[in-house]
Chains A and B, each alone.
Chain A
């Protein structure tokens, strides 16, 4: 059906537009990667040139791996991101299940309240969050970051997952109830597998702002033991001199784990499509 309706011209235009957008989106990334492999002089002399025999240099990577503890920073970023995603998905899906499945007083108000965080940036509460972390002694711990990022990711997760869970057939859940499944097993064994694509979407949307965030690591966990990659790269940006080789190398390295996580989730996106269960 879809094939018959699209003319080649029309789909050609669509593809041109998409290709242009892709080029625009990928260009900065491309620039970072090529320049990370050049020596300092070539970066400034010819920023758009590909690294060649004379300009090729690994000095940036060298300084990243020798100065500062980048393995630790990577580890911190990974821990914070993956644990936060885990909690966002777990609590988000549970809240979404309750909102979509049960009739109770104030259901839609509660849904609205939980979604409010999409519109109000969590950074507005930075001072209060910092005070809270100081009071609980969580400053300079990864726990502080995980807590904040979980809170930051939940509104969108609840919002998206609620909509998706409404589409899971009531009959299927009821069949589970008649077969004696508890509400928890209905949630974990029947509903979650069916909303996998939505979970992957939420995971991707949650992951990227957390990985890239500079604000909260700088404020809540700036100690050397808890630095994340984005914060760690800042040591190369000085007030007077910036070690561009190192900054670009650190950024290039920082892209890799995100790419890996993204591919993991996007495979789920495709695999998670379970048709045929209901009609």
Chain B
């Protein structure tokens, strides 16, 4: 009941093309995350789906019905905003109930649905308060509650965690994951944070410069990136990207090796390098090496001791290097 189909959506603001032909299919119940650097068009795409912006061309189908000309309130969607966007003059209860009231639902039903949503998000104690009297995390829960109350076919989240501090972000992330399991609703979520994307998504849509670079499950994107952009964007620390010619592989313009797919040794290995800097994170140790072909990041699991200027030898794991052609597309092995 909550499928979404986007066909060749384009959006221009004057001369600027923000979306350059987006095709996407989202199945009922999926948790899809749009991720990409700022300015890549992911928020615009979400707004087009919500009906807050009109697409310049292309079709949007929610549940098989074309909704290009349907106003946002009638699309069966609910949206959670980065800035919470709660109505400042209404209590939490009225904030959650406003949409239903506008739709002309009976007071009994509004009350019941508000009750269910507030119980789900443990907001019962705050129902009579105004947004100004709540903390950031509580406000975002109210905003999520306002979305739940509408019982939408499609939940849209626009960077909902960006304004929260780190600890709350993790909690709210778990909360959203739990809600997705509980409600079994289709959710579309925009973020620039790849950790959110990797942890929440069934399917990640990586966007860059108004186009979709790749669509896939988190592990697909991690293990088989189709383009150089995806390879560099997914994974932290970032994948090492080295010119193929410098590694004696002229067939590939760029060669990528993830920092965690490199082993180091004091005595022998494929590449020789000297240590520039070491970061000790407890669970991992990150080593920055200077080699003949440029800097190389290595991520080792556990605790390791290395000195700056120490000479090390690095060896990539077999079958874990990625080769990209001059169009930045992957070269299939």
Q: Which A residues are closer than 8 A to B by beta carbons?
A: 169, 171-172, 174-181, 189-190, 193-194, 274-279
Closest to A277 in B: B88
Complex alpha-carbon distance, A194 and B133, angstroms: 17
Please indicate the chain B residues that have their CB under 8 angstroms from the CB of A169 in the complex. Answer: 83, 85
Q: A172 and B85: CB pair below 8 A? A: yes
Contact A171 B102 (CB under 8 A): no
Seen from chain B, the residues whose Cβ lies within 8 Å of a Cβ on chain A are 47, 50-52, 71-74, 77-79, 81-89, 98-99, 102-103, 130-134, 136, 146, 150, 158, 163
Q: In the complex the two chains form, is A171's CB within 8 Å of B83's CB?
A: yes
Q: Are B87 and A178 in contact (CB under 8 A)?
A: no
Assess the A276–B77 pair: CB atoms within 8 A: no
A28 nearest CB across to chain B (Å)? 42
Chain B residue at minimum C-beta to C-beta distance from A174: B52
Can you pick out 24 interface pairs between chain A and chain B where the beta carbons lie within 8 Å of each other?
A171-B81, A171-B82, A171-B83, A171-B85, A171-B158, A174-B72, A174-B85, A175-B81, A175-B146, A177-B52, A177-B72, A178-B72, A179-B150, A180-B74, A181-B73, A181-B102, A190-B87, A194-B88, A275-B132, A276-B88, A276-B131, A276-B132, A277-B88, A279-B83
Query: Are A179 and B73 closer than 8 Å at their CB atoms?
Result: yes
Q: Which residues of B contact A179 (CB under 8 A)?
A: 73, 98-99, 102, 146, 150
Q: In whole angstroms, how far apart are the Cα atoms of A190 and B85 in the complex?
A: 11
Give the CA-CA distance A102 to B73 in the complex, in Å: 19
A169 CB, nearest partner CB in chain B, Å: 6
- Chain A residues near B51: list those with CB within 8 A: 177
B103–A180 CB distance below 8 A: yes
How many Å from the CB of A82 to the closest CB on chain B? 25
CB proximity of B54 to chain A, nearest CB, Å:
11
A181 to B51, CA, bound (A): 14
B163→A178 contact, CB < 8 A: no
- Judge whether A274 and B89 touch: CB under 8 Å: yes
Query: With A and B bound together, what is the CA distance between A189 and B83 in angstroms?
Result: 19
Instruction: Compute how far the CA of A180 lies from the CA of B100 in the bound complex, rounded to whole angstroms.
Output: 9
Please give 9 more A-B residue pairs, beta carbons under 8 A apart, in addition to A179-B73, A180-B73, A278-B86.
A172-B85, A179-B99, A179-B102, A179-B150, A276-B131, A277-B86, A277-B88, A278-B83, A279-B136
| A-side contacts of B89, CB under 8 Å | 189, 193, 274
